[in-house]
Amino acid sequence: MSDATAGEIADRGLAAEGVRRIEWAAREMPVVAQIRERFAAERPLEGLRVSTCAHVTTETANLVLALRDGGAETRLAASNPLSTQDDVAAALVAEYGVPTFAIKGEDHATYFRHLDLAIEHAPGVGPQLTIDDGADLTALLHRERRDLLDGVAGGTEETTTGVIRLRAMADDGALGYPIVAVNEAETKRFFDNRYGTGQSTLDGIIRATNILLAGKTVVVCGYGWCGRGIAMRAQGHGAHVIVTEVQPTRALEAMLDGYRVMPIAEAASEGDIFVTATGDINVIDRPAFDAMRSGAILANSGHFDAEINLEALEAMTEARRELRPFVEAWTLSDGRQLVVLAEGRLINLGAAEGHPASVMDMSFANQALCLEYLAGRHASLEAGVYDVPREIDEEVARLKLAAMGVAIDELTEEQERYLRSWEQGTA
Amino acid sequence: MSDATAGEIADRGLAAEGVRRIEWAAREMPVVAQIRERFAAERPLEGLRVSTCAHVTTETANLVLALRDGGAETRLAASNPLSTQDDVAAALVAEYGVPTFAIKGEDHATYFRHLDLAIEHAPGVGPQLTIDDGADLTALLHRERRDLLDGVAGGTEETTTGVIRLRAMADDGALGYPIVAVNEAETKRFFDNRYGTGQSTLDGIIRATNILLAGKTVVVCGYGWCGRGIAMRAQGHGAHVIVTEVQPTRALEAMLDGYRVMPIAEAASEGDIFVTATGDINVIDRPAFDAMRSGAILANSGHFDAEINLEALEAMTEARRELRPFVEAWTLSDGRQLVVLAEGRLINLGAAEGHPASVMDMSFANQALCLEYLAGRHASLEAGVYDVPREIDEEVARLKLAAMGVAIDELTEEQERYLRSWEQGTA
Amino acid sequence: MSDATAGEIADRGLAAEGVRRIEWAAREMPVVAQIRERFAAERPLEGLRVSTCAHVTTETANLVLALRDGGAETRLAASNPLSTQDDVAAALVAEYGVPTFAIKGEDHATYFRHLDLAIEHAPGVGPQLTIDDGADLTALLHRERRDLLDGVAGGTEETTTGVIRLRAMADDGALGYPIVAVNEAETKRFFDNRYGTGQSTLDGIIRATNILLAGKTVVVCGYGWCGRGIAMRAQGHGAHVIVTEVQPTRALEAMLDGYRVMPIAEAASEGDIFVTATGDINVIDRPAFDAMRSGAILANSGHFDAEINLEALEAMTEARRELRPFVEAWTLSDGRQLVVLAEGRLINLGAAEGHPASVMDMSFANQALCLEYLAGRHASLEAGVYDVPREIDEEVARLKLAAMGVAIDELTEEQERYLRSWEQGTA
Amino acid sequence: MSDATAGEIADRGLAAEGVRRIEWAAREMPVVAQIRERFAAERPLEGLRVSTCAHVTTETANLVLALRDGGAETRLAASNPLSTQDDVAAALVAEYGVPTFAIKGEDHATYFRHLDLAIEHAPGVGPQLTIDDGADLTALLHRERRDLLDGVAGGTEETTTGVIRLRAMADDGALGYPIVAVNEAETKRFFDNRYGTGQSTLDGIIRATNILLAGKTVVVCGYGWCGRGIAMRAQGHGAHVIVTEVQPTRALEAMLDGYRVMPIAEAASEGDIFVTATGDINVIDRPAFDAMRSGAILANSGHFDAEINLEALEAMTEARRELRPFVEAWTLSDGRQLVVLAEGRLINLGAAEGHPASVMDMSFANQALCLEYLAGRHASLEAGVYDVPREIDEEVARLKLAAMGVAIDELTEEQERYLRSWEQGTA
């Protein structure tokens, strides 16, 4: 089904299933739900055009519906060709009237055409606000639709990878409008990246392979928040964890957290399963492939499918064969077999359902509140990459705790005074 | 033994034991050892007067010896009346010639007199550099020896508590010279506060009480880096952990780390052991005491002994009796008994030996390198609280990994280029 | 497709997919593979009729193929109406020629008819050996086909639940032949029940719901080996775990392992997710349902679907609605909603793929070796429930370690002598 | 002080301190306390002579007092020359009137003379019941005081090591009376060995060395209950754990518990700290010493000091020097230094205070109840090694849970009936 107004999706018939799953996710997204309710009453985004590039999942659907109820006109494209949930796309188009351009497994050309369609709300009319996940939409806008740049008041970016790209743009003086790095919110980075990626990456590996992790050696490349989460959950499954890193402080932290740390070339011969989560390219490359045992399993949890150098692996390979969905054995010329999961694309979206709704709840609550913030503030912000305002971060945490039924202490006046004072000390 | 030049310590006869223990600690402090060697060759602190206020432990001794070998004239006083290791103080004075003013268990007046003696290198002559741990020395200098302020080029502060005080001073415009918050170094805060405080706090509790932690409910007040470490190690001992917090983001993190979170008033009736690590006062107060079970154990791991409101407890108490060293039963009027460890002073120094040498290695490497940095840079720095320069942080981590025999990866040129670029994306 | 000789399965067309998945499982089953190779050479089961009742999964297929290659004539029926993997059943029938009677979702009558078909190898001809999983086949044989009992030389039983039933039969003098309790092998119980059930139960819950476990309260009913595994993995996902038990020693162990322990009636109001693993009935019953929060999720990991009293729940329920596959919301008369997973049948087989192959490798290696043992020994064994011979247990572990590339130490002669001696002591 | 009636101890002046510490331990020993109370009322051991060989600690004191209050005439000797707490010995003699023969650090001859004194209640009069910990007293009785054997009605043994020796004696037909292996009680082995040894072994290592365990590699030799506990707690401190084993099933379990497993010769070059807990001799021997890094730390947690082959190490050693109490550096001819803790004697008693009272509570409750059982039953028991009766085990667990304030579920009649039945199954 394709229609520049209504969207382009795989199968409208999946809409009912999509609605059911979107509602299921809503149960685990009480913070977005509360914001959606307020937005419906206050309409802070009234009439604003929003172009959203995100994984088309049940959670994204809940964000988009909050924006819609807040008055925004939203268009949505996928941020990854493989991660679209076709039933969700169908529901957005057929039941909720949100123009959505996303088909699971779409090819390269379609992927970028869909981004174009999400950018252009009407011929020659672009967005006033953007939401991005990996900075593909933002980059496209800056590269090919500079005519629409002036109309953009601001945007947000969801991922580490995207923020790295945007900072590089800003350093080059190439960034055309202010973007809030939602990724840097404590309630995003600490939760979504660590707990969300942690659980869902292992979930993806298990769904794809159904192997027992206890007793296996899992090599985690990268010890940022995502890598920390993956390592923590792999250990929680009884695996031996080895971490590889390039930053000394992180490497040291991994050591003291009880993992072994070594260069990838050395880890290669010890690992049963390898997972990349660095935001960089070719983290696992030829020398590592050379050293791996036959049967080693390779998965990527970073945003782009460039962390495992599959081109280099291809050059060593004689035959490829799918063993299970998302599980492909690559037989090398020397007879060894390496097993690549989800074609090296992000495993938690490829082979599982992405982050659980309850962590996306916080990321997307930040998205919604940051968009509201930009809508009200954009006149005063210059082009650049901005942090999420502290008060938004705290508000998201407060709403979440309340939804979990958790009460916490408050500082007494005396305690606040003490923290402000400096005369007290050893008494 | 007292002598304004040579120091004031408990018992010179303990010096040999002190030397032996200082050397033992040195084995676990390879980073400070490497810096000490370089300092001895380069003498970057030649002739500078340094006033140091720190826990007088084997690790501090190693720091002070590095400064001495770097050319500094150092005077040392305790940063806590209870934490002094008398044999170390003896060794510093008798074997290493470092004027030291510290006696374990010294009273309030002595404590402050000792700070005075550490400040004044000769009549009317103050320090050019200060090292502080809790900001008592810095506060005293600003309050009572303003005559010496002008001569101070810079200083460092070791603790969270101290940094809070100094920031308050800076906000009041009251801070007289630039101070580097060593506490904020990643290689300090991430390691010393978390792994060091974590292990040593539990160690202190176990040495004091010899109770089995498995199956006990441990309430950790505060989920900063220290609290995280304490919770992690308590769980590592098989305890059930409850966290209390005032900050929503931290409370949420504690929840997702697998701990229960609730207000202290509610936790009070569930806990077997309570540990405070907040940097604030009266965190455990009357309402909590009222709710606690008889036999509950109270310990503090924060810098000052103000986190448990012992005055309020005193008012409820009919009798106190020491059960073991550092273990005192307070019998309340209602018949319940609460057990206070180490008089509410910091348990890891009071009942154990403080942080293990290997974490102090990193904190004190930061101290030494920051002092060197200040010595070279002070002319150009205004009064204020400064972060540890990133390159010092990385250097410390690099030296530590090397000492542990751990190699890590380095970014290839291609990878660095990728991180700087923004045009690449989904291909 | 139905044929008393060839089997009765859902869809022959799934055979190719089944073969692929059976081969994938074979990679993780090196012990069974080694045994299969030896069996093919030695034919220890030549001509023996084996009736197998087991979950029809890729792993069972590998066991059955080892028996076939060992010379046995095997017939296979499902041990649970919901757990059959239709592609595996198809592959067994169409590709491997093993008569298999199993259709995922078959009704009660079909289930028992299938057991009958697995028992009767030809009209009036029963098995010489049985393999059972839950004792349904064995009970049926004793209840309805007593005519065939005499011909049975021996059997094995895979599960705790089955062993409980068989012991009850033996105590009643009702057991007709010797049965080896494979479940009691160390290499079964310690691994399959703990690591296999642990991982796969959590996997089933996550696949069904996609919820984040970190921060959730998971109530595990029963702290046998299965319950231990579930609790361990739930904690490994960052959940708070509460255990309920009836046995004091186990309850105490759960406490000291760091979990909270309380009666189910009390746990009911705290839990977000409930999992039963006791082998008993009505473990979660009306009083617990009454106390649960709306939204609570109920799953069963025990063999039979009797652990959660769904009849009692039905009586409280006004409406049921499927939210996702295997996820059904039961709306109670009081407005609360409880969420039942996989209809209370075992979640790891219902919503995921059952135990990972690598643990089944050990269970099924025990099965194969015990069958070989019975084939050679049956004349000498009386009716009763037997332990797995220690040497089989050790052999399985030895083969597994070898397959994992793990070497271990061996006792020196001196050490063996020491262990046999009693004269040595404090010297 | 020495007196064949009243005892032989180091210093009567320590009695007051001993009393205080015995009372502190009593708080953590509610089960023994309850039994003591009942014993005082029922006097089940009236007039029986009991010879006890045990670590002379605060917990043992509480056991001995329960026996005394139960009517027994108890004599006590140390079960290890290094583990005696002199203040406790003093208190027993001076305050409680229990003849005690134990001096911390006593030499070999004194140790055995003390055992003799504990055996002989009066000239030519031996015990009717024995309590042993390592089987030294029992062996001595069988070797040198066969004249007294006939009078012995029964005994108990506390340790794995002792049980191994006694089983060897029984196999040789050399055992003269029935002995209950308290070690085999679930409430002993599962708790004391695992949680008690786990915590106290790490405690001993930390007290001796004050080193940070996070990031260190700890090699645990033996994966019995003690080894499991040590590995679990080492990991709980953030250490990397390597396990060595001789038994395949245990080695496999260690792997799946997330530890690495390898032969000691291989582990030797990776370890920072080595701990033995096998019950066998020369577990760490010359080939391992050869491979160790300079600075490696060696500790033993097994009963006898024979697990580390110190004779072999002595032969490689040029010089020994004490660095801290219980910490001795052995400088080898090749220049490397190995660090031996507590002279290879059991580290948790040597350098710390032994098991926490709350686990000893259960072991010693078993001891008391088994002695009562033997007192009532001995006529009917033949010489041999017996298990603790199941009902004693359950009783101990029940008393302990009650003391912890933990309630558990009870089987309903319906549930009990179900467990006894075998006709129910898949319905």
Distance from CA of B158 to the nearest CA of D (A): 19
Question: What is the per-residue pLDDT for C422?
Answer: 57
Q: In what order do the strands lie in the sheet with B7-8?
A: B2-3, B7-8, B100-101, B73-78, B49-54, B129-132, B154-157, B178-181, B384-387
Higher pLDDT, residue C12 or B324: C12
Only one residue has tokens 């999983």, namely C133
Of D111, D191, D264, the CB nearest to C409: D264
- Token representation of residue D240: 């990397």
ipTM > 0.90, yes or no: no
d(CA A129, CA C161): 60
Percentage of chain C lying above the pLDDT 70 cut: 97
Cβ of B238 within 8 Å of Cβ of D236? The answer is yes
Cβ of A419 within 8 Å of Cβ of B168? The answer is yes
As a whole number, mean pLDDT of residues D364-391 equals 90
Which residues, 6 or more positions from C94, have their beta carbon under 8 angstroms from its beta carbon? C12, C15
d(CA C78, CA C65): 16
Contact present, B227 and D224 (Cβ < 8 Å): no
Q: In what order do the strands lie in the sheet with A384-387?
A: A2-3, A7-8, A100-101, A73-78, A49-54, A129-132, A154-157, A178-181, A384-387
Cβ of A279 within 8 Å of Cβ of B401? The answer is no
Question: What is the per-residue pLDDT for C161?
Answer: 83
Kindly list the residues from chain A whose CB atom is less than 8 angstroms away from the CB atom of residue D260.
240
The lowest-confidence range among A74-78, D104-108, D183-187, D216-220 is D183-187
Question: What is the per-residue pLDDT for B266?
Answer: 96
Mutate: best of C14, C210, C213, partner A, most A CBs <10 A: C210
Distance of CA D90 to the CA centre of its chain: 21
pLDDT of C424 above 60: no
> Which helix or strand (DSSP H or E) is residue C386 part of?
strand C384-386
pLDDT of B427 above 60: no
- Token representation of residue C37: 């190779």
Kindly list the residues from chain D whose CB atom is less than 8 angstroms away from the CB atom of residue B239.
none
Task: Please give the C-alpha separations between residue A260 and each of A231, A245, B92, B257, D407, in angstroms, as whole numbers.
Answer: 11, 11, 38, 21, 41
> Would you list which residues of chain A are within 8 Å, Cβ to Cβ, of chain C?
20-21, 23-25, 27-28, 195-196, 198-199, 203, 206-207, 209-215, 232-233, 235-238, 295, 323-324, 327, 352-353, 355-359, 404
Of A24, A236, A295, the CB nearest to C237: A236
Kindly list the residues from chain A whose CB atom is less than 8 angstroms away from the CB atom of residue B81.
426
Distance from CA of D215 to the nearest CA of A (A): 4
DSSP for D23-38, written as a single string = HHHHHT-HHHHHHHHH
Count CB pairs under 8 A between chains A and D: 32
Q: Which residues of D354-382 are buried (b: 16+ CB within 10 A; e: fewer)?
A: bbbbbbbbbbbbbbbbbbbbbbebbeebe
d(CA D10, CA D4): 14
Question: What is the per-residue pLDDT for B161?
Answer: 83
pLDDT of B141 above 60: yes
Choose among A383, A380, A307, A293: nearest CA to A338.
A293
Question: In terms of DSSP H, where are the helices of C14-102?
Answer: 15-27, 30-42, 58-69, 86-94
Residue of C nearest to A293 (CA): C405
Cβ of D211 within 8 Å of Cβ of B323? The answer is no
Q: Tens digits of per-residue pLDDT, C233-261?
A: 999 999 999 999 999 999 999 999 999 99
Contact present, A342 and A82 (Cβ < 8 Å): yes
Cβ of D235 within 8 Å of Cβ of A258? The answer is yes
Distance from CA of D233 to the nearest CA of A (A): 12
pLDDT of C423 above 60: no
The DSSP letter of residue D194 is I
Cβ of D406 within 8 Å of Cβ of C262? The answer is yes
Residue of C nearest to A337 (CA): C27
Which residues, 6 or more positions from C2, have their beta carbon under 8 angstroms from its beta carbon? C8
Percentage of chain C lying above the pLDDT 90 cut: 85
Q: Tens digits of per-residue pLDDT, D334-351?
A: 999 999 999 999 899 888
Question: What is the per-residue pLDDT for C404?
Answer: 92
Distance from CA of B252 to the nearest CA of A (A): 7
Kindly list the residues from chain B whose CB atom is less than 8 angstroms away from the CB atom of residue C254.
none
Contact present, A39 and A69 (Cβ < 8 Å): yes
Question: What is the per-residue pLDDT for D6?
Answer: 82
d(CA D27, CA A12): 69
d(CA D352, CA D246): 29
Of C214, C255, C256, the CB nearest to B256: C214
Residue of D nearest to A238 (CA): D258
Number of Cβ atoms within 10 Å of the Cβ of B407: 14
Three-state SS for chain A is CEECCCEECCCHHHHHHHHHHHHHHHHCCHHHHHHHHHHHHHCCCCCCEEEEEECCCHHHHHHHHHHHHCCCEEEEEECCCCCCCHHHHHHHHHCCCCCEECCCCCCHHHHHHHHHHHHCCECCECCCEEEECCCHHHHHHHHHCHHHHHHCCEEEECCHHHHHHHHHHHHCCCCCCEEEEHHHCHHHHHHHHHHHHHHHHHHHHHHHHCCCCCCCEEEEECCCHHHHHHHHHHHHCCCEEEEECCCHHHHHHHHHCCCEECCHHHHCCCCCEEEECCCCCCCECHHHHHHCCCCCEEEECCCCCCCECHHHHHHHEEEEEEEECCEEEEEECCCCEEEEEHHHCEHHHHCCCCCCHHHHHHHHHHHHHHHHHHHHHHHHCCCEEEECCHHHHHHHHHHHHHHHCCCCCCCCHHHHHHHHCCCCCCC
**Residue B174 burial class via C-beta count within 10 angstroms: exposed 0-12, middle 13-18, buried 19 and up:** middle
- Token representation of residue B218: 């441990």
Percentage of chain D lying above the pLDDT 70 cut: 97
Higher pLDDT, residue D70 or D303: D70
Query: Residue C427 — very low, low, confident or very high, per pLDDT cuts 50/70/90?
Result: very low
Kindly list the residues from chain C whose CB atom is less than 8 angstroms away from the CB atom of residue D143.
423
Cβ of D323 within 8 Å of Cβ of B24? The answer is yes
Question: In terms of DSSP H, where are the helices of B317-356?
Answer: 347-350
As a whole number, mean pLDDT of residues D186-211 equals 92
Chains in contact with B, where contact requires at least 3 CB pairs less than 8 Å apart: A, C, D
Radius of gyration of chain B from its Cα atoms, rounded to whole angstroms: 22
Query: Residue D3 — very low, low, confident or very high, per pLDDT cuts 50/70/90?
Result: low
Of D143, D255, D407, the CB nearest to C263: D407
Cβ of D212 within 8 Å of Cβ of B356? The answer is yes
Question: What is the per-residue pLDDT for C358?
Answer: 87
Contact present, A138 and A130 (Cβ < 8 Å): yes
As a whole number, mean pLDDT of residues C105-127 equals 95
Query: Residue D174 — very low, low, confident or very high, per pLDDT cuts 50/70/90?
Result: very high
Q: Tell me the whole-structure pTM to 2 decimals.
A: 0.90
pLDDT of D427 above 50: no
In Å, the largest CA–CA distance within chain B is 75
Average pLDDT, chain D: 93
Contact present, A235 and A258 (Cβ < 8 Å): yes
The DSSP letter of residue C194 is I
d(CA C71, CA C74): 9
Only one residue has tokens 């069963």, namely C300
Q: Tens digits of per-residue pLDDT, A148-164?
A: 999 999 999 998 889 98
- φ, ψ dihedrals at D18, nearest 5°: -60, -45
The DSSP letter of residue C274 is E
Distance from CA of A205 to the nearest CA of B (A): 22
The DSSP letter of residue B126 is -
Kindly list the residues from chain B whose CB atom is less than 8 angstroms away from the CB atom of residue A172.
422
Which residues, 6 or more positions from B232, have their beta carbon under 8 angstroms from its beta carbon? B194, B198, D238
Of C240, C255, C256, the CB nearest to B258: C240
Query: Residue B324 — very low, low, confident or very high, per pLDDT cuts 50/70/90?
Result: confident
Distance from CA of C295 to the nearest CA of D (A): 24
- Digitized pLDDT (tens) for each residue of chain A, 427 residues in all: 556 568 999 999 999 999 999 998 999 899 999 999 999 999 999 999 999 999 999 999 999 999 999 999 999 999 999 889 999 999 999 999 999 999 999 999 999 999 999 999 999 999 999 999 999 999 999 999 999 999 999 999 998 889 989 999 999 999 999 999 998 898 888 788 899 999 999 999 999 999 999 999 999 999 999 999 999 999 999 999 999 999 999 999 999 999 999 999 999 999 999 999 998 999 999 999 999 999 999 999 998 899 999 999 999 999 999 988 999 999 999 999 999 999 999 899 888 988 888 889 999 999 999 999 999 875 678 999 999 999 999 999 999 999 999 999 999 999 998 887 755 555 4
The one-letter amino acid code at A342 reads: A
pLDDT of C2 above 70: no
Cβ of D324 within 8 Å of Cβ of B214? The answer is no
Cβ of D190 within 8 Å of Cβ of C253? The answer is yes
Question: What is the per-residue pLDDT for A427?
Answer: 44
Distance from CA of B250 to the nearest CA of C (A): 13
Kindly list the residues from chain C whose CB atom is less than 8 angstroms away from the CB atom of residue A192.
none
Crossing angle of helices C86-94 and C58-69, in 10° steps, is: 20
Contact present, A269 and A249 (Cβ < 8 Å): no
> Which helix or strand (DSSP H or E) is residue D381 part of?
none
Choose among B346, B372, B302: nearest CA to B63.
B372
Query: Residue D359 — very low, low, confident or very high, per pLDDT cuts 50/70/90?
Result: confident
pLDDT of D46 above 70: yes
